[in-house]
């Protein structure tokens, strides 16, 4: 199945059922890792909102709080390499277990920025969950604790990911054709 957004055509890459199954598995692991603890799930807007909602529903036996921040490093289909903080971090993160949820980690520039910002707040722990990870594009050495799928370094949309604001609502993930 093909989808056209503006001037680009995308083909199906990951089916909705594959995504949901993988998020269930990740949720089960998070439930084990944080059993009986408090967890602040920090979604990185805009892309993470669907992933975060579905993942949170799969976490059991953990006291979950949610919040969001918004940072940006993309223009069109390319990373600019410059991170802008649009909506900042919530207050009082000291001594909290923080789970950052991302839709995708590719170059890692945005996450690297966020990790440095969070470390200054002195949380108890910081973990990263991402639906998609592009190892070919990744430029850092920090750990991604929960990874849904490793994918090639191609542009993708759907399931929260967009192309110039379009395609976030697609229930599957599509790759640029």
Q: What is the pTM of this model?
A: 0.90
Q: Is the predicted pLDDT of residue 127 greater than 90, yes or no?
A: yes
Annotated domain spans of the chain: 2-176
Q: What confidence tier does 29 reach under pLDDT thresholds 50, 70, 90? A: very high
| Interval 125-140 mean pLDDT | 96
**What's the pLDDT at 46?**
87
Strand pairing report for 173-176 and 38-45:
unpaired
For residue 70, name the pLDDT band (cuts at 50, 70, 90). Answer: confident
Q: Quick one: what percent of the chain has pLDDT higher than 90?
A: 79
Q: What is the pLDDT of residue 79?
A: 60
**Does residue 118 contact residue 88 with C-beta atoms inside 8 Å?**
no
CATH topology for 2-176 is Rossmann fold (3.40.50)
The answer to whether 56 touches 155, Cβ cutoff 8 Å, is no
Burial class of residue 130 (count of CB atoms within 10 Å of its CB; 0-12, 13-18, 19+): buried
Residues 6+ apart with CB under 8 A from 177: 2, 8, 9, 10, 11
Catalytic residue, chosen from 7, 33, 103, 106, is 106
- Note the pLDDT of residue 81: 66
- Asked whether 103 and 130 are in contact (CB, 8 A), the reply is yes
> pLDDT per residue over 151-162, tens digit each?
999 999 999 999
Mean per-residue pLDDT over the chain, rounded: 92
Query: What per-residue confidence (pLDDT) applies to 80?
Result: 61
103 given a catalytic annotation: no
């Amino acid at each position: 199945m093909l989808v056209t957004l503006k001037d680009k055509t995308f083909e199906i890459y990951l089916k909705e059922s594959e995504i949901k199954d993988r998020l269930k598995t990740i949720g089960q692991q998070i439930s084990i890792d944080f059993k009986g603890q408090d967890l602040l799930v920090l979604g990185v807007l805009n892309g993470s909102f669907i992933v975060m909602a579905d993942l949170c529903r799969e976490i059991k036996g953990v006291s979950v709080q949610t919040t969001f921040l918004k940072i940006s490093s993309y223009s069109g289909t390319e990373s600019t390499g410059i991170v802008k903080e649009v909506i900042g971090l919530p207050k009082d993160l000291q001594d909290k277990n923080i789970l950052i949820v991302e839709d995708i980690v590719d170059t890692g520039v945005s996450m690297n920025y966020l990790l440095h910002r969070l470390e200054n707040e002195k949380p108890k722990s910081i973990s990263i969950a991402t639906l998609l990870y592009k190892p070919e594009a990744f430029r850092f050495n920090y750990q991604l604790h929960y990874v849904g799928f490793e994918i090639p370094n191609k542009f993708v949309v759907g399931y929260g990911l967009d192309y110039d604001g379009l395609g976030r609502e697609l229930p599957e993930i599509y790759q640029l054709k």
